[in-house]
């Protein structure tokens, strides 16, 4: 005997002993490392002294590491362990001469050690497999938890479920409630690796026991089917073969798992089809199905059940996130409506600014050259920018309405008072004209009357003309201008004129406050009113700061805060410059100025033509107030046409 390899799945010493005693030992050739295997059974390698050199130590060590055991036979007269055999590799050592009983005892011990090693190896392999599965489920859970879009989330759920089970196909149903209050399953997604060309058609089925998905939804229990074409005759459900018949497919093994939320309510059903030996195999023929498709194991049921639980929570979270988004959208619309109700003259302004700003952001995101060619905006950042655009003027609710809607330099009551004053002075002049005529006639009669009347009429006409010129000058000066204008000489001269009031006191045609308003060089607001209007930015910022924004929307207040800032520090309210103004705010500033210039609904100014508005903005770019590159993109891409 040179060496003997013994292995059995259920070792029985009674059957091994006689074989050793009769020396019915099979001689073998030396094996390569890849051939010396334990074959998933306890194995004992009996190696005599002459065969030691035939097996390198790395071969023997690999055999032991795989769960085998080695019993070494000593040479004649060799009392101790052989020097060329490390003690940690041996389970037993038998001195010469070798007796059958001695060898049997050594082999028994080797078998026990091999069995223990095999069990340890299996336990380690099982632990490693479970660890990998837990890690995989954790990674999938993280991916599901970060996906907010429902459609993408469903696709991710089905894709991952198919991947971890090597399923060829799968489908996903979600529970919904009809308008009549009845629950039903909506077929939301399907994937078929072997038939990628098959179209997806959405439909609904009742939540009852007639279909596989309906049965799982009603019972809340998984269905494991080895062959869907051969269902037991006593089951309530049946398979719909229409897809198979239409596209030449063969559905065999199936796993149908209900998806339950944290309340144990079924919110959907995950259906997996045809688990494959090779995940990349294409099931093109019946032979492919027979050769590749295997049943779903108990472990795959456990894995998919765990995944379905994660998926249900992710779907519920996604739905909740969508509901929150709809709720916030409603709040934003209500806030914009409140602004426009308070200041109807700017109706639509917030929406137009938001649209143009988002449009400019899309252009910047796609820019292939220029200063911002590396700038990119995520979907969340675009949404953040849109909200900032819609709410940038919300602080106007904190501004006095009479200032907010002031269309002319004078308030309506002030202008009405001036008109009444004009009428009073005019009627006083007319009364004086008729009084003097009457007094002349009473004192002199008709003698010299015609000459006197001619002189008096001319004097009265000049006085009336002066009064009318005064009112006309007031009306002209009352109109606000877009650009500074300081031609108030005529008004100042007329304002120095006085009249006698009912008390007999002399009063000027215009009070100091009236003159202050009428000589406003630009727009319709004086310095105090302008500061009050400018305060709307601070009111907006403080209001938006009170909202518990999500992490994706946390910059909304700051973006809106600076929409009246200028790069040269000439803006308000903080008068910051350059890089202190975020790019999102710079884009909003351009959109806000353009809309303010071209809007046709501003009572305090006439609408400026688009070309003229761009020319005015060019001047601001040259003055270093607006971002030159962003303005270039705004004009080149004709972003301003988005609202036309």
pLDDT tens-digit map of 269-292: 999 999 999 999 999 999 999 999
pLDDT tens-digit map of 228-265: 999 999 999 999 899 999 999 999 999 999 988 888 88
Give the residue among 107, 111, 85 at the shortest CA–CA distance from 98.
107
Phi/psi of residue 579, each to 5°?
-65, -15
CATH 3.30.450.40 correct for 148-320: yes
pLDDT of the residue at 400: 86
How many angstroms separate the first and last alpha carbons of the chain?
A: 99
pLDDT of the residue at 576: 94
Higher per-residue confidence, 65 vs 476: 476
CA dist 184 and 205 (Å) reads 6
pLDDT of the residue at 24: 33
Q: Would you list the domain boundaries of the chain?
A: 3-123, 148-320, 343-401+528-643, 412-523
pLDDT beyond 90 at 69: no
When mean pLDDT is compared over 25-39, 170-184, 314-328, 597-611, the highest value belongs to: 170-184
pLDDT beyond 70 at 174: yes
pLDDT beyond 90 at 16: no
pLDDT beyond 50 at 30: no
Tell me what the mean pLDDT of segment 505-528 comes to. Answer: 88
DSSP symbol at 482:
S
CB atoms within 10 A of CB 339: 25
pLDDT of the residue at 25: 36
CA dist 290 and 293 (Å) reads 6
Phi/psi of residue 527, each to 5°?
-60, -45
In percent, how much of the chain has pLDDT > 90?
Answer: 40
Tell me what the mean pLDDT of segment 103-110 comes to. Answer: 82
pLDDT beyond 80 at 7: no
Distances (CA, A) of 443 to 93, 440, 449: 162, 5, 10
Band (40; pLDDT cuts 50, 70, 90): low
Higher per-residue confidence, 340 vs 459: 459
Q: Output the CA angle 448-453-454, nearest 5 degrees.
A: 105
Give the residue among 81, 87, 80 at the shortest CA–CA distance from 60.
87
Band (172; pLDDT cuts 50, 70, 90): very high
pLDDT of the residue at 476: 87
CA dist 421 and 252 (Å) reads 98
pLDDT of the residue at 583: 95
Q: Helix, strand, coil: what percent of the chain each, to 5?
A: 55, 10, 35
Band (459; pLDDT cuts 50, 70, 90): very high
Higher per-residue confidence, 480 vs 84: 480
Q: What is the mean pLDDT of the chain?
A: 84
User: Domain 343-401+528-643 class?
Assistant: mainly alpha
- In the CATH scheme, what is the code of domain 3-123? 3.40.50
């Amino acid at each position: 005997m040179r060496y003997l390899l013994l292995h059995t799945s259920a070792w029985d010493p009674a059957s091994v002993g006689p074989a050793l005693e009769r020396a019915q030992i099979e001689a073998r050739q030396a094996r390569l490392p890849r051939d010396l295997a334990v074959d998933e059974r306890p194995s004992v390698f009996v190696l005599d002294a002459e065969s030691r050199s035939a097996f390198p130590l790395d071969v023997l060590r690999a055999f032991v590491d795989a769960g085998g055991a080695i019993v070494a036979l000593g040479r004649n007269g060799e009392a101790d362990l052989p020097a060329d055999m490390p003690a940690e590799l041996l389970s037993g050592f038998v001195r010469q001469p070798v007796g059958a009983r001695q060898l049997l005892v050594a082999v028994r011990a080797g078998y026990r050690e091999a069995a223990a090693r095999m069990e340890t190896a299996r336990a380690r392999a099982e632990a490693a497999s479970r660890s990998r599965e837990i890690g995989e489920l954790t990674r999938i859970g993280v991916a599901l938890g970060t996906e907010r879009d429902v459609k993408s989330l469903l696709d991710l759920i089905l894709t991952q479920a198919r991947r971890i089970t090597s399923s060829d196909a799968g489908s996903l149903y979600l529970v919904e409630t009809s308008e009549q209050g009845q629950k039903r399953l909506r077929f939301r997604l399907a994937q078929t690796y072997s038939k990628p060309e098959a179209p997806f058609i959405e439909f609904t089925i009742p939540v009852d026991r007639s279909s596989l998905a309906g049965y799982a939804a009603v019972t809340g229990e998984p269905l494991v089917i080895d062959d869907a074409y051969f269902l037991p005759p006593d089951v309530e459900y049946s398979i719909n073969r229409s897809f198979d018949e239409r596209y030449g497919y063969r559905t065999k093994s199936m796993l149908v798992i209900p998806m339950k939320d944290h309340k144990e309510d079924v919110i959907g059903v995950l259906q997996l089809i045809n688990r494959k030996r090779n995940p990349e195999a294409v099931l093109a023929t019946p032979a492919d199905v027979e050769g590749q498709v295997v049943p779903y194991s108990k472990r795959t049921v456990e894995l998919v059940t765990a995944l379905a639980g994660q998926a249900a929570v992710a779907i519920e979270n996604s739905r909740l996130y969508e509901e929150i988004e709809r709720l916030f959208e409603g709040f934003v619309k209500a806030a914009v409506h409140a602004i426009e109700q308070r200041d109807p003259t700017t109706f639509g302004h917030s929406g137009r600014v938001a649209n143009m700003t988002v449009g400019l952001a899309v252009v910047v995101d796609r820019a292939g050259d220029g200063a911002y060619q590396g700038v990119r905006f995520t979907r969340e950042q675009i949404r953040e920018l849109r909200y900032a655009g819609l709410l940038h003027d919300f602080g106007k609710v904190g501004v006095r309405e009479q200032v907010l809607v002031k269309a002319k330099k004078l308030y309506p009551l002030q202008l009405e008072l001036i008109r009444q004053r004009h009428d009073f002075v005019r009627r006083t002049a007319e009364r004086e004209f008729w009084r003097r005529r009457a007094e002349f006639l009473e004192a002199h009669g008709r003698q010299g009357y015609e000459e006197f009347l001619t002189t008096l009429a001319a004097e009265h006409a000049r006085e009336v003309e002066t009064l009318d010129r005064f009112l006309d000058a007031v009306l002209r000066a009352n109109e606000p201008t877009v650009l500074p204008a300081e031609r108030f000489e005529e008004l100042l001269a007329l304002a120095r004129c006085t009249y006698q009031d009912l008390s007999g006191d002399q009063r000027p045609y215009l009070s100091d406050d009236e003159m202050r308003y009428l000589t406003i060089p630009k727009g319709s607001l004086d310095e105090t009113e302008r500061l009050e209007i400018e305060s709307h930015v601070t009111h907006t910022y403080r209001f938006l700061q009170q909202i518990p924004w999500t992490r994706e929307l946390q910059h909304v207040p700051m973006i809106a805060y600076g929409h009246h800032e200028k790069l040269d520090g000439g803006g308000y309210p903080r008068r910051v410059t350059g890089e202190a103004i975020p790019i999102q705010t710079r884009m909003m500033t351009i959109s806000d100025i353009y809309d303010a210039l071209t809007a046709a609904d501003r009572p305090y100014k006439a609408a400026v033509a688009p070309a003229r508005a761009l020319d005015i903005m060019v001047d601001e770019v040259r003055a270093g107030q607006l971002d030159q590159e962003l303005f270039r993109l705004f004009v080149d891409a004709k972003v301003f046409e988005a609202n036309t």
